Amino acid sequence: MTHDPISAPGETARAAVRQAGLPFIAITICLDVVSHSMVFPVLPRLVEGLVGGQVSSAARWVGVLVAAWSVAQFFAAPVIGMLSDRFGRRPVILISIFGLSLDLAIMALAPTLAWLLVGRILCGLTAGAQGAAMAYVADITPQEDRAKSYGWLNAAAWTGVILGPALGGLMGAWNPRAPFWLAAAVALGNGLYGLLVLPESLPRDRRAPMRWAKANPIGALGLLVSRPGLPVLALALLLLWFAMFAMNSVFVLYTAYRYAWDPLALGVFCSALAAVNIVVTSQLSGRAVTWIGERRTLLAGLVAQVIGFLACGLAPTGVLFWIANIPMTLANIAGPALQAMMTAKVEPDEQGRLQGAMGGISSLTGLFGPIAFTQIFALAIAAGRGPAWSGVTILVGGALSLIAGLLVLFFTRESAGAPDPA
């Protein structure tokens, strides 16, 4: 049985921690995404310069660099999660932030591809700020408010999605290494700010001993099958995140191939989509949980995602594709509800381990999702098939979302005390 993080004897102290910690955590999530996404527009250019302008070789190396980050995070996330359970969230979050700053500086200075690869691996190894931040929220937020808090953190992440590439593109037009320096400075400033304002959220009496035998991907993922109700939610999370790559990994190629979108049209769409997603995750997800409960909110989000994937995959024109993305944005209420449901299944001293396991799932989907769906897209448009075939990739995402929805519908139940629908 899990415990409410705000207990009566320490309610005032915990409320103070929540008031001081949550704004910093939201800022950290935003700046973490900004720091990572800022380098995306210029990473291919930097790699191309290091390989002597050979585009084909640069493309292969960009793939290696992306995969290196995911592999490093896959192995590091369980260790970082358990370290936060043992030593507290504050040191792990701050070390991760300062580590990110150092990694970005190494990449900014990288004279060769080998050094750039070292920077990417170190970046993946220290990418624990977001997982520890999610555990921090579970520490200081009552169960009934967690979906709302996670919604705000997701909104902060979407804000970073808007700001990061824009800043990176602007700085990269001057010098391809400039965004790395700016991102390193942003991370460093955030870490210094955290030293001043971030209190610890996990009391010493709720910390877990370090179990090195479980500080690995297999041991961390073992937590997901060792608690009643958690395996189904973990599988739904895997399907949900994997399905998103059906859209994300081919988005640029798909819209250019089927709708002949140029970079301007793509940029306008992405900015509008991110802005709407901020509103949905920050305002609608928490309210939906209050109205109908976590499980029904998750199911409603998955239904919207299935409809959205089907509509996007079948939309014959760019205008209809815009309209088809309305249910896709509404589907963002599912993520915070699912995160809140999963945190309720483990003890306070296991929240970091849970986030490490979820980080492992994220790494796996990030590693294999782009490979799988780009190959499906290539097969779908091969041999002179018409543009409509290009939507098959997105329809596969809809099928995966449907499976996730059926799992939640038939194999989960609403937590005790959840509100009934009006």
Q: How many CB atoms lie within 10 A of CB 317?
A: 10
The secondary element (H helix, E strand) that includes residue 400 is helix 392-411
Tokens found for residue 407:
């799992």
Domain positions in the chain = 11-411
Query: In this predicted model, what pLDDT tens digit does every residue of 97-142 receive, in sequence order?
Result: 998 899 889 988 988 888 988 888 888 887 666 788 889 988 888 8
Tokens found for residue 209:
């001993």
Residue 396 has pLDDT above 90, yes or no: yes
Map tokens 């992306």 to a residue.
66
Q: Could you give the CA distance from residue 134 to residue 128 in angstroms, rounded to a whole number?
A: 10
Residue 180 has pLDDT above 80, yes or no: yes
Tokens found for residue 236:
């739904």
User: Taking Cα atoms as reference points, which of 74, 128, 64, 52 lies closest to residue 96?
Assistant: 128
- State the average pLDDT for the chain: 84
Map tokens 């790494």 to a residue.
363
Instruction: Answer with the residue of higher pLDDT: 197 or 58.
Output: 197
Q: Could you give the CA distance from residue 326 to residue 273 in angstroms, rounded to a whole number?
A: 9
Least confident of 30-34, 38-42, 271-275: 38-42
Instruction: Answer with the residue of higher pLDDT: 169 or 285.
Output: 285
Tokens found for residue 46:
């930097």
Question: What's domain 11-411's architecture?
Answer: Up-down Bundle (1.20)
